[in-house]
């Protein structure tokens, strides 16, 4: 038996020749039977004893605890909001205190350098960026903004699932009043935890920034609740795939625009053509033109008709034989909640949305139906 490919995540941003960084919760993960893999320069739990399938389903039914401490946590002065707006196509100036917004850094050709969360708090702007992009993002920010601070002494946990609110509120009742994309600072055992009601699984849930030295105590307090189980990166990927959430490096890259990635919704009116602060970010000409007149490619969901998963890189055709390639699978695997293979693909915009497509898997063309995204209905508390 030999490994044919590493799946979607294993090759994304993996540092080579460098000792991986260890998570503050590593010992706790090992206690729960974690299998570790190198990911973006960190040694990350890919799954726990229960396995990816069971972890995925647990998170859809109860509450899953994820260690996402590898992600970058950054802090900018409030006065940097105008400068930050020149790097992202989203409305930062009007972001209300206590609220968080999804954003992406763009390049001059309209591609995506990273996607991130921006929160406006009482005293600062708080950013969460992808692990693999962390260093590049910091350099990019520092080239334009003074006072960019990397927060290296806090872990980041995500609690996701329909029972996440009940489980977290048992420790800190204040979270129950938060709605989707609210941020708050709430004390637990006398220490300030930074909480946002968000996540990347398609479920209701929270991301919690906690001082590294108390991360284990906090995680243990959550895991003491029968509704909470530890979930690894493997299920995090299948959950976000079912939720139709794009991943940087897969659905979004420096060569794929946010419009092509299906993320045009995240660009507010005020930054679009005719808006009060239209443009003014890298690649604005390309992106605003695509918003107005359409992009050359679009992201679609694929439901392969058989049982064979169509993994990232699978070429997509519009006929069972012959014809030209019309696209490529950007992420693909198995959807445990759906009980079958699912994929996200980037295809030529001219392909009709109801056209049957074929993915070429190991030299064979296998049929797939285009599907509306998300594959599963999200449970956000708006």
Partner 1 sequence: MKFTEDHEWLRPDGDVIVVGITEHAATQLGDVVFVELPEIETQVAKGDEIVVIESVKAASDIVAPLDGEIVAVNEALTDTPGLVNEDPLGEAWFFKIKVDDMSALDAFMTEDEYKDHVGA
Residues engaged in binding partner 1 (CB under 8 A): 1-10, 46-47, 51-54, 56, 234, 237-238, 307-309, 311, 333-334, 336, 341, 362
CB–CB of 137/114 below 8 Å? yes
Residue number, 4 or 293, with CB nearest to partner 1: 4
Provide the minimum distance between the beta carbon of 9 and partner 1 in the complex, in angstroms, as a whole number.
8
Residue number, 11 or 123, with CB nearest to partner 1: 11
Provide the minimum distance between the beta carbon of 48 and partner 1 in the complex, in angstroms, as a whole number.
11
Residue 366 DSSP class: E
Dihedral in degrees, nearest 10, Cα atoms 205, 260, 234, 199: -10
Residues 6+ apart with CB under 8 A from 329: 302, 310, 311, 312, 313, 314, 315, 316, 343, 344, 345, 359
Provide the minimum distance between the beta carbon of 2 and partner 1 in the complex, in angstroms, as a whole number.
5
Residue number, 155 or 312, with CB nearest to partner 1: 312
Place of tokens 């001219």: 350
CB–CB of 278/289 below 8 Å? no
Residue number, 132 or 366, with CB nearest to partner 1: 366
Rounded to 10°, the helix 233-242/52-61 angle is 60
Provide the minimum distance between the beta carbon of 119 and partner 1 in the complex, in angstroms, as a whole number.
31
CA pair distance 312, 11, nearest whole angstrom: 11
Residues 6+ apart with CB under 8 A from 197: 175, 178, 179, 180, 181, 182, 183, 204, 205, 206, 381
Rounded to the nearest angstrom, the gap between the alpha carbon of residue 259 and the centroid of all alpha carbons in its chain is: 17
Residue number, 64 or 234, with CB nearest to partner 1: 234
CB–CB of 163/62 below 8 Å? yes
Residue number, 306 or 323, with CB nearest to partner 1: 306
CA pair distance 169, 26, nearest whole angstrom: 25
- First-last CA distance in the chain: 47
Q: Which residues pair with 65 in a beta bridge?
A: 159, 230
Provide the minimum distance between the beta carbon of 1 and partner 1 in the complex, in angstroms, as a whole number.
5
Residue number, 168 or 361, with CB nearest to partner 1: 361
Provide the minimum distance between the beta carbon of 172 and partner 1 in the complex, in angstroms, as a whole number.
33
Provide the minimum distance between the beta carbon of 5 and partner 1 in the complex, in angstroms, as a whole number.
5
Residue number, 45 or 262, with CB nearest to partner 1: 45
Provide the minimum distance between the beta carbon of 201 and partner 1 in the complex, in angstroms, as a whole number.
15
CB–CB of 20/14 below 8 Å? no
The count of other CB atoms within 10 Å of the CB of residue 226 is: 10
Residue number, 52 or 229, with CB nearest to partner 1: 52
Tokens of 40: 């973006």
Provide the minimum distance between the beta carbon of 6 and partner 1 in the complex, in angstroms, as a whole number.
6
């Amino acid at each position: 038996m030999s490994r044919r490919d590493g799946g979607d995540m294993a090759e994304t941003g993996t540092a080579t020749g460098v000792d991986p960084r260890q998570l503050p919760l590593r010992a706790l993960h090992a206690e729960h039977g974690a299998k570790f893999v190198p990911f973006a320069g960190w040694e990350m739990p890919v799954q726990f004893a229960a396995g990816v399938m069971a972890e995925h389903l647990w998170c859809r039914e109860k509450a899953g605890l994820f260690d996402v401490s590898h992600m970058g946590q950054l802090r900018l002065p409030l006065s940097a909001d105008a400068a930050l707006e020149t790097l992202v196509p989203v409305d930062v100036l009007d972001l209300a205190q206590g609220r968080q917004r999804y954003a992406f850094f763009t390049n001059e050709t309209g591609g995506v350098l990273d996607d991130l969360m921006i929160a406006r708090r009482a005293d600062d702007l708080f950013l969460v960026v992808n692990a693999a992009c962390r260093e590049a993002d910091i350099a990019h920010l520092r080239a334009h903004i003074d006072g960019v601070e990397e927060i290296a002494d806090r872990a980041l946990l995500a609690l996701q699932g329909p029972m996440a609110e009940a489980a977290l509120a048992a420790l800190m009742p204040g979270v129950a009043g938060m709605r989707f994309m609210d941020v708050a600072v709430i004390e637990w055992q006398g220490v300030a935890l930074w909480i946002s009601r968000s996540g990347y699984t398609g479920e209701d849930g929270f991301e919690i920034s906690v001082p590294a030295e108390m991360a284990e105590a906090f995680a243990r307090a959550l895991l003491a609740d029968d509704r909470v189980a530890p979930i690894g990166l493997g299920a995090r990927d299948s959950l976000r795939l079912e939720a139709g959430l794009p991943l940087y490096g897969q659905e979004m890259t420096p060569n794929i625009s946010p419009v092509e990635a299906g993320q045009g919704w995240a660009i507010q009116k005020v930054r679009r053509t005719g808006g009060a602060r239209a443009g003014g970010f890298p690649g604005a000409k390309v992106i605003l033109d695509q918003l107005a007149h359409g992009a050359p490619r679009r992201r679609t969901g694929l439901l392969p008709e058989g049982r064979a998963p169509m993994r990232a890189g699978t070429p997509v055709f519009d006929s069972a034989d012959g014809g030209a390639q019309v696209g490529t699978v950007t992420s693909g695997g198995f959807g445990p909640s759906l009980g079958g293979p699912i994929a996200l693909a980037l295809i030529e915009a001219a392909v009709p949305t109801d056209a049957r497509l074929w993915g070429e898997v190991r030299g064979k063309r296998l049929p797939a139906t285009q599907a509306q995204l998300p594959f599963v209905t999200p449970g956000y508390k708006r």
